[in-house]
Structure 1
Amino acid sequence: MGLISPRLPDLDYEEWQAKPLMQRIKPMAQDWAEGGFGTPDAVLVLYVVKIGLYAFGAAAITALTPGIGSLGDIGEWWTEPIFFQKVVIFTLLFEVLGLGCGFGPLTLRFLPPVGAPLHWLRPGTIRLPPWPSRVPLTAGTTRSMTDVALYVAVLAAALWLLLSPGQGGSAEAGSVGTIDPWRFLPLFAALGLIGLRDKTIFLAARTEVYGTLALMFLFSGPDLIVGVKLLVVLIWWGAAFSKLNQHFPHVVAVMMSNSPILRVKALKRRFHRDFPDDLRPGRLSEHLAHGGTVIEFGVPLVLLLSNGGWPTHVAAVVMICFHLQILTSLPMGVPLEWNVFMIFAIGFLFIDKADVSVGEMSHPVPVFAIVLAAAAVVVTGNFFPRQFSFLPSMRYYAGNWATSLWCLTPEAVAKLDGSVNKVARLPSAQLETLYDAEMATLLSHKVYAFRSMHTHGRALFGLIPRACGEDRDVVTSRYAIHDGEFVAGIALGWNFGEGHLHHEQLLQALQERCGFEPGEVRVVMLESQRFLEPRQEYRIVDGATGEIERGIVKVADMLERQPWDGEIPTYDVVVGAAPHPT
């Protein structure tokens, strides 16, 4: 791994390029298993610097609060509730500016490394309303000046909160109080209105975490502290609940193989069953996955119920290590600031405020109502995943996400570049600008390997022959494969694992602009697994003619396959009228 050059497997490029798609993926998956994405060291430094700037920015802007003290005195005021409030709002602002999840090279966003504000401040770009036929004044997919104004309102409301003074403090007690609850209403209104016009921005703000936490800032005293504690525990439990599946060990194997901290190849190989021929998760990955789930269920309960002392401190150390392990692995999509925030929340809520308990609350009913509503979304989202984003369902890192692969002809790519108002080209084109065509092709296949090493990747690549023709080599000659997440990233300005952003609604919006001919665009869409159901639904859709086929794939079939196996059995298939391309 070089300072600026990615590390890639040593192979004969001409010989490798002549092979069918899945055979080209095989050496890339084997290389990932012992070396990850091969990220250049300079990129790792970039993310470390970004984490430092995030932490410094949150502290620096809080130091502007009248009466709180200088940045150099942070050791005296970091336990002030207003600091926690401003960290929450600062993180929401950081995310909705595209600087958090979905930033930079580890999301294949190179030129530019950030898209969100460049896209959302630009009239004419694509927006996706969640309920265009049900909510008045939200129909259409073109961003207007109204949408730009609403996005600016979100930014302005967040900045206003960050510059707000405290109220209700006591100079004798050395406290500046908390932000006036009424000051949060403009942010809630702006987020709600922009969310009805464009669900992408609502999700990008990570509203399910920071917006819900901000609701608790309408309270004060013990009500605020206990309410936030309950929501943080719900985040852990929601994530743990979603990991009660057979997909999660694959996530652990892929994430640990990509860790820049673990550089001993012999250790990384142990995350897989029998490297290099069997890349299903090994026992080490399974133990880490199941052990992590147990920790995420049990240790937060100790934090919640203990009132300080050694049980609280031991539990806090365990959860800090839990988040540090994720943070230092630099997972693709890089949800780094979220883990930094959770570490800070552990110190503030469960160590410094360990003695603040439910019994001290003045208004428990509305506080518990907010927590129960958030919990209801988590549970319902796991049982009805097609109707809910994986973010409010809190299915973080679970490996059970809606996904898609887009098969595009050169004609389709040309239309996408020429007819869609956007700020970036597809990642493959960005790579060709940075490197030569050979390096760009190899890196694109490294991304295929990442997807194929997850269970859903086995299904997506296994369904490509059904989407593009029975001869899988047609992909080499006619179609190029693009991960749906990166199509959404350039078309919508942001994506962070939310597969519903690159399903039929986006395809229809692109079709309106590009006028794809039949066969130019074929998309394989895979829905999340419903809780306790051993199958997942899929759809194959043509950009011009609509749905070609739908059916189900079984999780058991995904689990027994290698990343390069290709075709997968399908069941309950319903075939549409659109013909396969010739």
Structure 2
Amino acid sequence: MGFKEGVLPDTDPATFMEKPYLERVQIMSRSWVENGFGTPKILPTIYVVKVLVLYLAIGITIATLTSGFSPLHPSEWWNQPVFYQKAIMWTALLETIGLAGSWGPLAAHFSPMTGGLRHWLKPDTIRLPPWPDKVPGTKGDRRTGFDATVYALILLTMAATLFWPTVDASGYTGGATVKEHLGLAAADKLPLINPVLLIPVIVLLLILGLRDKVAFLASRPEQYMPAMLFFALAPTMGLATMIVALKLLITVVWLGAGISKIGKHFGKVVPAMMSNTPVLPGKWIRRKFYRNFPEDLQPSGLAHFVAHGLGTVVEITFPLVLLFVGSPWWLVVISVIMMIGLHTVIFSTFPLAVPLEWNVLFGFAVAFLYLGFPNKDGFGFIGSDYAWTLPILVALLVLPILGNLRPDLVSFLPSMRQYAGNWASAQWAFAPGAEKKMEEFIVRSAPNTITQLQATYPEDIAEVVLHNTNGWRGMHSQGPGLMSILWNYLGDEKFQHEYTMREAEFACNSVVAFNFGDGHFHNEDLIAAIQKRCNFKPGEFLVAWVESQPIHKDYQEWKLIDAALGVVERGTYKVKDSADAQPWLPDGPIPLTYTYTSKSATPAGAHA
């Protein structure tokens, strides 16, 4: 893999699409093992430069100069609450614009590289309200001038929190304690973001969420809105309690992610992530994460150790130490180092949702919260103002608990299942020529992903590059199940040779401008909105879709959607059957249980 030249799999692009689909998946999954996405090294370099310049250099400069500090003297501001507040708001602003997570080629934004504001400021694009039949004023799937205005106001009010003059929090409850802890004199000011500025941000985000769940979740509200609320309540709850509340927030994020990694899914995520890590020295070490490359791409013992020994255990154990332990101090320091190390490793893998800024923020947050405001100095959960901290803890746990028990009701983001591999997922299947209808009839900010790639590559090479995502999905726990659903329905000839298969997490990007591993962004609501515009005929556009696994069950619920007919099949499959299958299904489709078949369904395959 060169600096400017990427790596294609060992296949002839001119004849690649003539091969049976599962042979293509086999080629791409094996290629992924050794090369990841195969991108040239200039691409991760671009991401690193973006983080260093746009996020860190510009962000630190704004946060410090607008708060009365010198950006060149970190010792002045690294442990200042106002700097932490502005770090949160700066990150949230970049996420909401579309310049942080789900940005660039690794998230299938090839040209243009930014979705976000290019899409959400554009009337007539698709919006997806979460409860259109229950919340008045939210029906419809067309973005209006009102929606664009709400989104623009969110950007402006977020920016205002960064540039508006700060207030002196010396008179807040606990203000004197915080000043003394920071070594400030009684006459010194303790700057904070004006709490009143947070109220319009929160209100506007909630309005946006009721109108369009995709744009709302793209702002990462599960990560940043609770912090904004704590900032707004700082004068009432007190500054020490605000610090404890922020510790509870970050702990719930870590624990939710750690607990969700228990099971069959995360073991499949780690090998694919490590294969895409540009800092690994060679192909040989990438192969070590698989049981027996090239025949068996199940996770190796090393992969399971990294996933659960260095991942799950670390993400559960050390956050609990940090929350409840004040001394010995060396244990706190070790725990901080371990959590910074965790986020550094995640950053280095360049995961395909590319949440790089988020990982940098969390690395800083653990140092700020636990080294800047140690539990032993009166900023711990134990001994805090329980009238505030206990209700906050309960509130923070509601959505993660509900989302793990009923993933159909809660996105995996507020369920705190970040990158655990247990995602609602889908695969799109187009009859010959049908995919082009989307470009003809859908208003959006970017063309189909394949069209974006064809602006850089010849058509045959563009298909090979995009098939990387199909091989990548096949390596995850849902891939074999999704392929089995379509294979059973279409039959071997149509599935293997006639239909064009697209990985939905990446394909939906051009339609809704954002993806982050959540199939709720492209469930039957999106398919119905697409159908309203494209008027596909029965069988032209099929979607195999699977819900996340509930924490207390050993199966996942799936559905097959025909854009013209709606849901035509439903059923379940055992997580083990899909997770234990090879990406190219050499033993045929996995066992599927059928609970519903529509009379209008016209299956041609094994389930006919």
Please say if residues 405 and 481 of structure 1, whose CA atoms lie closer than 8 Å, have aligned partners that are also in contact.
yes
Which residue number in structure 1 is paired with residue 185 of structure 2? 172
Question: Which residue type is aligned with residue 598 of structure 2?
Answer: G
Please say if residues 223 and 364 of structure 1, whose CA atoms lie closer than 8 Å, have aligned partners that are also in contact.
no
Q: In structure 2, what is the Cα distance between the partners aligned to 1:131 and 1:105?
A: 32
Which residue number in structure 1 is paired with residue 317 of structure 2? 298
Which residue number in structure 1 is paired with residue 260 of structure 2? 242
Q: In structure 1, what is the Cα distance between the partners aligned to 2:239 and 2:189?
A: 12
Q: In structure 2, what is the Cα distance between the partners aligned to 1:359 and 1:533?
A: 35
Please say if residues 127 and 143 of structure 2, whose CA atoms lie closer than 8 Å, have aligned partners that are also in contact.
yes
Which residue number in structure 2 is paired with residue 208 of structure 1? 222
1:530-549 aligned within 5 A:
530-549=550-569
**SS of aligned partner of 1:311:** helix
Question: Which residue type is aligned with residue 401 of structure 2?
Answer: V
Which residue number in structure 2 is paired with residue 398 of structure 1? 420
Please say if residues 4 and 41 of structure 1, whose CA atoms lie closer than 8 Å, have aligned partners that are also in contact.
yes
Which residue number in structure 2 is paired with residue 442 of structure 1? 464
Change (3 A) 1:120 1:58: same
State the Cα distance separating 1:382 from its structure 2 match.
0.5
Which residue number in structure 1 is paired with residue 596 of structure 2? 574
Please say if residues 426 and 486 of structure 1, whose CA atoms lie closer than 8 Å, have aligned partners that are also in contact.
no
Q: In structure 2, what is the Cα distance between the partners aligned to 1:12 and 1:421?
A: 35
**SS of aligned partner of 2:139:** coil
Q: In structure 2, what is the Cα distance between the partners aligned to 1:408 and 1:451?
A: 18
Q: In structure 2, what is the Cα distance between the partners aligned to 1:51 and 1:458?
A: 35
Please say if residues 32 and 257 of structure 1, whose CA atoms lie closer than 8 Å, have aligned partners that are also in contact.
yes
Which residue number in structure 2 is paired with residue 265 of structure 1? 283
Please say if residues 487 and 502 of structure 1, whose CA atoms lie closer than 8 Å, have aligned partners that are also in contact.
no
**SS of aligned partner of 1:63:** helix
Please say if residues 289 and 302 of structure 2, whose CA atoms lie closer than 8 Å, have aligned partners that are also in contact.
yes
Q: In structure 1, what is the Cα distance between the partners aligned to 2:32 and 2:433?
A: 32
Aligned: 1:470 with 2:471: no
State the Cα distance separating 1:3 from its structure 2 match.
2.4
State the Cα distance separating 1:366 from its structure 2 match.
3.2
Aligned: 1:188 with 2:222: no
Q: In structure 2, what is the Cα distance between the partners aligned to 1:432 and 1:101?
A: 24
1:198 equivalent among 207, 212, 233: 212
1:76-110 Cα offsets, whole Å, 9 max, x none, are 11211000001111111110101111100101111
Question: Which residue type is aligned with residue 161 of structure 2?
Answer: L
Question: Which residue type is aligned with residue 495 of structure 1?
Answer: N
Which residue number in structure 2 is paired with residue 62 of structure 1? 63
State the Cα distance separating 1:14 from its structure 2 match.
4.8
State the Cα distance separating 1:15 from its structure 2 match.
5.2
Q: In structure 1, what is the Cα distance between the partners aligned to 2:4 and 2:110?
A: 13
Q: In structure 1, what is the Cα distance between the partners aligned to 2:189 and 2:461?
A: 56
TM-score normalized by structure 2?
0.92
Please say if residues 249 and 286 of structure 1, whose CA atoms lie closer than 8 Å, have aligned partners that are also in contact.
yes
Question: Which residue type is aligned with residue 132 of structure 2?
Answer: P
Which residue number in structure 2 is paired with residue 327 of structure 1? 347
Which residue number in structure 2 is paired with residue 281 of structure 1? 299
1:10-409 aligned within 5 A:
10-14=10-14, 16-52=16-52, 53-66=54-67, 68-164=68-164, 165-169=166-170, 172=185, 175-217=189-231, 218-219=233-234, 220-291=238-309, 292-307=311-326, 309-354=329-374, 355=377, 356-358=379-381, 361=384, 363-409=385-431
1:103-156 Cα offsets, whole Å, 9 max, x none, are 001011111001110111111111111110111111101111110111011111
Change (3 A) 1:346 1:175: farther
1:483 equivalent among 496, 503, 511: 503
Change (3 A) 1:175 1:304: farther
1:207-226 Cα offsets, whole Å, 9 max, x none, are 00011122111223101111
Q: In structure 2, what is the Cα distance between the partners aligned to 1:357 and 1:70?
A: 30
Q: Percent of counterpart pairs with the same letter?
A: 38
Aligned: 1:452 with 2:465: no
Question: Which residue type is aligned with residue 64 of structure 2?
Answer: A
Q: In structure 1, what is the Cα distance between the partners aligned to 2:14 and 2:210?
A: 50
Please say if residues 82 and 166 of structure 1, whose CA atoms lie closer than 8 Å, have aligned partners that are also in contact.
no
Change (3 A) 1:446 1:487: closer
Q: After the TM superposition, which of the residue ranges 400-409 and 161-170 deviates more from structure 2?
A: 161-170
**SS of aligned partner of 1:389:** coil
Change (3 A) 1:413 1:447: same
TM-score normalized by structure 1?
0.96
State the Cα distance separating 1:579 from its structure 2 match.
3.8
Which residue number in structure 1 is paired with residue 176 of structure 2? none
Question: Which residue type is aligned with residue 332 of structure 2?
Answer: T
Q: In structure 2, what is the Cα distance between the partners aligned to 1:482 and 1:146?
A: 33
Aligned length, in residue pairs: 578
Q: In structure 2, what is the Cα distance between the partners aligned to 1:490 and 1:464?
A: 23
Q: In structure 2, what is the Cα distance between the partners aligned to 1:198 and 1:14?
A: 41
1:22-62 Cα offsets, whole Å, 9 max, x none, are 11111211121122111111111110011112112221111
Question: Which residue type is aligned with residue 191 of structure 1?
Answer: L
Q: In structure 2, what is the Cα distance between the partners aligned to 1:432 and 1:522?
A: 24
Which residue number in structure 1 is paired with residue 175 of structure 2? none
Q: In structure 1, what is the Cα distance between the partners aligned to 2:300 and 2:531?
A: 43
Please say if residues 569 and 594 of structure 2, whose CA atoms lie closer than 8 Å, have aligned partners that are also in contact.
no
Structure 2 unpaired stretches of 5+: 171-178
Please say if residues 434 and 541 of structure 2, whose CA atoms lie closer than 8 Å, have aligned partners that are also in contact.
yes
Question: Which residue type is aligned with residue 304 of structure 1?
Answer: L
Please say if residues 381 and 388 of structure 1, whose CA atoms lie closer than 8 Å, have aligned partners that are also in contact.
yes
Which residue number in structure 1 is paired with residue 174 of structure 2? none
Structure 1 unpaired stretches of 5+: none
1:289-308 Cα offsets, whole Å, 9 max, x none, are 11111111111112122336
